[in-house]
Amino acid sequence: MSRVKGGAVTRRRHKKIIRMAKGHRGSRHKLFRQANESVMHALRYAYEHRRDRKGQFRRLWITRINAAARLHGLSYSKLIDGLGKAKVEIDRKVLADLAVRDEAAFAKIAQTAKAALAG
């Protein structure tokens, strides 16, 4: 069986990894072995953090909603409970956006939640 040398394919693959390692420190952006390891870790972290980002945004929205709800005499959990009882289907992303950008609309939503909790 004849020997197969990588040649152009190997060079292309190595160059691709080196390109991906641009901005990494030390020999990690120059030498293939170090670059390869660095890129594999970076890609793994990127994959995990894309999933973590969803939870981070949810926490941010809840914090914003809680702050706005307390201005109207409600806690976050009471607001969400009231909205559920009033059958208001609005997600946290939109609710947080209203809390930041449209104070009047959020006040009406808070009043709706209060009314549902009282009655």
The answer to whether the CB of 71 falls within 8 A of the CB of 45 is no
Q: Tell me whether residue 27 is in a domain.
A: yes
Q: Tell me whether residue 1 is in a domain.
A: no
Q: Tell me whether residue 2 is in a domain.
A: no
Domain count, the chain: 1
- Residue-level pLDDT at 119: 79
Distances from the Cα of 57 to the Cα of 81, 98, 109, 110, 114, angstroms? 21, 15, 21, 22, 26
Q: Tell me whether residue 100 is in a domain.
A: yes
Q: What is the DSSP string of 19-43?
A: HHTTT--GGGGTSHHHHHHHHHHHH
CATH classification at residue 78: 1.10.1900.20
End-to-end C-alpha distance for the chain, whole angstroms: 85
DSSP run (H or E) holding 95: helix 92-101
pLDDT band of 4, cuts 50, 70, 90: confident
Residue 113: both structure tokens together: 């939640």
Domain that holds residue 44: 8-118
Distances from the Cα of 115 to the Cα of 53, 107, 109, angstroms? 34, 12, 10
- Residue-level pLDDT at 26: 97
Please give the model's pTM, rounded to 2 decimal places: 0.82
- Residue-level pLDDT at 2: 86
Q: What is the pLDDT of residues 5-46, one digit of tens each?
A: 889 999 999 999 999 999 999 999 999 999 999 999 999 999
Q: Does residue 53 have a pLDDT over 90?
A: yes
Q: Does residue 60 have a pLDDT over 90?
A: yes
Q: What is the pLDDT of residues 68-80, one digit of tens each?
A: 999 999 999 999 9
Q: Tell me whether residue 3 is in a domain.
A: no
How is the chain split among helix, strand and coil, in percent rounded to 5? 80, 0, 20
> What is the distance between the alpha carbons of residues 39 and 29, in angstroms, rounded to a whole number?
9
